[in-house]
């Protein structure tokens, strides 16, 4: 590894994990490293920490931990990512911190003061906060030590809620909940989830797994792909959400199963594009009002948005952009909302560095339609307005249409992060165009 870094010390070095990010994080015209052989897993004797090679897939780590009655504190919707890739981008699930928060130390191959390649172990202070979510800017992550916890079981069911208040009223009873704002009907569907009192699988759990795989992960997604992307029929998409989805949801069917079985989905079966916007908890309500109003206006040019939404758009001088996206794109996938606890990091999306310590909510926008341009225009509009008026932040591992000068104010930890990068990579070898644009080039004019 050090030899490779020495050989490319005047070029650009990036690492590819599982390649599951929707942005240019892995792009380089010089060296691209694949760490798939760095997969060693070592559980520490206290059974509270696990050290794992950066190239190990999360699924492999979960299986290894599971055989010893352990698991990770937090995982996303899929487990195909590498540990280093997921940590590098603040990958998260719902109701817990992001995976980055649970990182206790990191071994990084980087550059010393004179530009010589070296390996450092980072296990405390600001450097650890930077390394916990680094988007690969500190160097090549060889090994990560993460907290692990005893295996737990999750009880869940899917239940319709009349409005956002009803969803949030249930949050303390179901702290792992995630919920969906359904396009066309704009109804709220809660994935009610909590840690089960004991580790016992319910009788119907296998049937539930099969139902979820066949009906939701495959058939529903196939239906959306077919109607929205291939047939381009707004009417049929509307039919799916008004008529079919309600009969596929069984609110009384409550199931308890092992945490990784419940929390993971086969969300990777159909190719899509995703942008995810994080807002602080106190901004969730206006943020969801805003997202649903903009998506409705994008779907129907005559849709009248409220005075509050109009004022928000006017206040950030985005009226012309709004006029351009009206009637241009029909959103066709549930908007998933997940609560992420505040992270002790510098730049993960729910970092609490320099801001009031509160939960964040990740609002996900997914499209299956191609060409992607109409979605990208709407998503860019949402990102720009929400960063300016709702203190929003964008997921580092998803589509990221904004530049550092536009998002800099959202991350009070960004300057400290940049300073730490300079100690690990004085020549900027680990910076590619994506990193320059989104993290390092913080000055310049802002022309959305
Ligand atoms: C179907 C699907 C579902 C998803 N679900 C979720 C979810 O539920 N929650 C969530 O938060 N995210 C989710 N994501 C996003 C995903 O978790 C992140 O994009 C994650 O970074 C992907 O990991 P990867 O191993 O594919 O990394 P890559 O995409 O390969 O790399 C991500 C970044 O990390 C850097 N990197 C990777 N390995 C290293 C290393 N060893 N050293 C230094 N830098 C490195 C890369 O250069 C790049 O900048 C999902 C993505 C997909 C495709």
* 107 Cβ inside 6 Å of ligand 1: no
Chain centre distance of CA 373: 21
Catalogue the E-assigned strands of 288-426. Answer: 335-340, 360-367, 393-394
Give the closest residue (by CA) to ligand 1 atom 41: 141
Q: Residue 438: what are its φ and ψ, rounded to 5°? A: -95, -20
Mean pLDDT value of segment 150-154: 98
pLDDT given at position 447: 41
Torsional class of 2: left (φ above 0), alpha (ψ -120 to 50), beta (otherwise): alpha
* 392 Cβ inside 6 Å of ligand 1: no
**Is pLDDT of 56 > 70?**
yes
Q: Which structure tokens are listed for 11?
A: 């070029």
Round to whole Å and give the CA distance between 307 and 303. Answer: 13
Distance 154 CA to ligand 1 centre (A): 25
Residue 386's CB is within 10 A of a number of other CB atoms, namely: 26
Cα radius of gyration (the chain) = 22
Only one residue has tokens 């009384």, namely 252
Q: Count the helices and strands in the chain (H runs, E runs).
A: 17, 16
- Counting every residue written for the chain, the total comes to 448
**Is pLDDT of 52 > 60?**
yes
Which of 12-21, 106-115, 435-444 comes out lowest in average pLDDT?
A: 435-444
Chain centre distance of CA 253: 28
Distance 430 CA to ligand 1 centre (A): 17
- State yes or no: cis peptide before 371, omega within 30 of 0: yes
* 21 Cβ inside 6 Å of ligand 1: yes
* 84 Cβ inside 6 Å of ligand 1: yes
**Mean pLDDT rounded to a whole number for the chain:** 96
Looking at the chain, the domain(s) classified CATH 3.30.465.10 span 2-150+413-440
Mean pLDDT value of segment 351-357: 92
Give the CA diameter of the chain: 65
**Is pLDDT of 58 > 50?**
yes
Angle between helices 414-424 and 125-132 (to 10 degrees): 100
Only one residue has tokens 């030590």, namely 145
Which of 222-236, 284-298, 418-432, 434-448 comes out lowest in average pLDDT?
A: 434-448
Using most ligand atoms within 8 A of CB, pick from 76, 133, 347, 349 the residue to mutate for ligand 1: 76
Looking at residue 243, what DSSP letter applies?
Answer: I
Query: Taking CA 189 as the corner, what is the angle to CA 183 and CA 191, rounded to the nearest 5 degrees?
Result: 130
Scanning 69-226, the segments in alpha helix (DSSP H) are 83-88, 125-132, 164-169, 205-211, 221-224
Distance 87 CA to ligand 1 centre (A): 8
Give the closest residue (by CA) to ligand 1 atom 10: 91
Round to whole Å and give the CA distance between 61 and 80. Answer: 10
**Is pLDDT of 445 > 60?**
no
What three-state secondary structure class fits 145?
Answer: strand
Looking at the chain, the domain(s) classified CATH 3.30.70.2520 span 273-410
**Is pLDDT of 446 > 50?**
no
Percent of the chain with pLDDT over 70: 99
Query: Residue 42: beta bridge partners?
Result: 51
What three-state secondary structure class fits 197?
Answer: coil
**Sequence-distant (≥ 6) Cβ neighbours of residue 107 within 8 angstroms:** 119, 120, 121, 122, 141, 142, 143, 144
Mean pLDDT value of segment 365-381: 97
Round to whole Å and give the CA distance between 349 and 364. Answer: 13
* 221 Cβ inside 6 Å of ligand 1: no
> Looking at ligand 1, which atom is closest to the CA of residue 434?
49
Q: Of 73, 87, 82, whose CA–CA distance to 134 is shortest?
A: 87
Inter-residue contact 5 to 117 (CB < 8 Å): yes
Q: Which CATH number fits domain 273-410: 1.25.60.10, 3.30.1370.60, 2.60.40.10, 3.30.70.2520?
A: 3.30.70.2520
pLDDT given at position 268: 87
What three-state secondary structure class fits 45?
Answer: coil
**Sequence-distant (≥ 6) Cβ neighbours of residue 313 within 8 angstroms:** 305, 319, 322, 385
- pLDDT classification of 442: cutoffs 50, 70, 90: confident
Percent of the chain with pLDDT over 90: 96
* 108 Cβ inside 6 Å of ligand 1: no
Distance 25 CA to ligand 1 centre (A): 9
**Is pLDDT of 176 > 90?**
yes
- pLDDT classification of 448: cutoffs 50, 70, 90: very low
CATH architecture observed for domain 2-150+413-440: 2-Layer Sandwich (3.30)
Distances (CA, A) of 112 to 7, 10, 105, 123, 344: 15, 14, 19, 17, 26
Mean pLDDT value of segment 183-194: 97
pLDDT given at position 444: 60
**Sequence-distant (≥ 6) Cβ neighbours of residue 319 within 8 angstroms:** 313
Inter-residue contact 383 to 258 (CB < 8 Å): no
- pLDDT classification of 308: cutoffs 50, 70, 90: very high
């Amino acid at each position: 590894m050090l030899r490779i870094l020495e050989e490319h010390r005047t070029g650009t070095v990036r690492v590819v994990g599982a390649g599951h990010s929707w942005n240019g994080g892995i792009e380089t015209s010089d060296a691209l490293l694949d760490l798939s052989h760095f997969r060693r897993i070592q559980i520490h004797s206290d059974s509270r920490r696990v050290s794992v090679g950066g190239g190990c897939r999360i699924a492999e780590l979960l299986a290894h931990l599971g055989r010893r009655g352990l698991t990770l504190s937090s995982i996303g919707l899929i487990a195909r990512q590498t540990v280093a890739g997921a940590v590098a981008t603040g990958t998260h699930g719902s109701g817990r911190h992001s995976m980055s928060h649970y990182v206790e130390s990191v071994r990084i191959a980087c550059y010393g003061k004179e530009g010589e390649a070296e390996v450092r172990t980072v296990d405390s202070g600001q450097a650890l906060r930077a390394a916990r979510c680094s988007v690969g800017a500190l160097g090549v992550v060889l090994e990560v030590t993460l907290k692990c916890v005893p295996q737990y079981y999750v009880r869940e069911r899917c239940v319709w809620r009349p409005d956002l208040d009803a969803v949030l009223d249930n949050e303390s009873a179901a702290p792992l909940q995630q919920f969906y704002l359904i396009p066309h009907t704009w109804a709220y569907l809660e994935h009610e989830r909590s840690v089960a009192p004991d580790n016992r699988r319910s009788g119907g759990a296998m049937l539930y797994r099969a139902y979820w795989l066949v009906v939701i992960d495959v058939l529903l997604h196939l239906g959306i792909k077919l109607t929205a992307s291939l047939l381009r029929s707004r009417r049929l998409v509307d039919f799916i959400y008004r008529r079919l989805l309600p009969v596929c949801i069984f609110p009384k069917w409550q199931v308890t199963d092992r945490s990784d079985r419940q929390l993971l989905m086969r969300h990777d079966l159909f190719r899509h594009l995703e942008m995810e916007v994080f807002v602080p908890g106190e901004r969730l309500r206006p943020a969801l009002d805003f997202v649903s109003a903009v998506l409705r206006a994008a779907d129907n040019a005559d849709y009248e948005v409220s005075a509050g939404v109009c004022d928000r758009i006017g206040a950030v001088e985005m009226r012309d952009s709004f006029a351009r996206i009206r009637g241009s794109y029909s959103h066709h996938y549930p908007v998933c909302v997940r609560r992420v606890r505040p992270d002790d990091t510098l730049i993960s999306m729910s970092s609490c560095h320099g801001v009031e310590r509160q939960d964040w909510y990740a609002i996900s926008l997914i499209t299956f339609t191609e060409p992607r341009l109409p979605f990208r225009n709407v998503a860019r509009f949402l990102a720009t307005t929400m960063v300016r008026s709702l203190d929003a932040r964008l997921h580092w591992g998803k589509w990221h249409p904004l530049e550092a000068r536009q998002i800099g104010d959202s991350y009070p930890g960004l300057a400290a992060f940049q300073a730490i990068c300079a100690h690990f990579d004085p020549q900027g070898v680990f910076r590619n165009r994506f990193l320059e644009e989104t993290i390092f080039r913080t000055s310049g004019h802002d022309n959305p």
